[in-house]
Amino acid sequence: MEEKCCCSKKKVRSPEEKKRLINRLNRISGQINGLKKMLENDEYCVDILTQSAAASAALDSFERVLLDEHIRTCVADNIRKGNDDVVEELVDILRKMMK
């Protein structure tokens, strides 16, 4: 299976990679839904903040995993093909993530 990367603005992921990423997002979605229920049930602020921090950490972890895969595939493949523009794209996304 040919892997398409960021140069076409699409990427074909393996079923395993897609499943792992979707599972992470499903867990994060569950955490966000839990936060909403906590607010609706008038839970204690510290408990909500603790859950919010966990959801934020899970999203950060998702981003790191996706960024790692992006660098190992899309960025590396584009550099090998002589497309150095992908480096500037990587720098831009890293700046956004570090805000």
Mean pLDDT of 59-83: 94
Contact between 31 and 55 (Cβ < 8 Å): yes
Task: Look at residue 1 and tell me if it is in a domain.
Answer: no
2 belongs to a structural domain:
no
Amino acid found at 23: N
Structurally, the chain folds into a number of domains equal to 1
**What is the CATH classification number for the domain harbouring 39?**
1.20.58.1000
Measured between alpha carbons, how far is 30 from 97 in angstroms, rounded to an integer?
23
For residue 8, which of 97, 94, 83, 98 has the smallest C-alpha distance?
83
For 32-61, write each residue's pLDDT tens digit.
Answer: 999 999 999 999 999 999 999 999 999 999
Q: Would 6 be classed as within a structural domain? A: no
Could you tell me if residue 7 is inside a domain?
Answer: no
Q: Is residue 10 part of a domain?
A: no
Is the pLDDT assigned to residue 94 strictly greater than 50? Answer: yes
Residue 5 lies in a domain: no
Query: For residue 91, what are the domain limits?
Result: 15-97
On whether residue 50 sits in a domain, the answer given is yes
pTM of the model: 0.82
DSSP helix/strand/coil, 7: helix
Scanning 4-98, the segments in alpha helix (DSSP H) are 15-40, 45-70, 76-80, 85-97
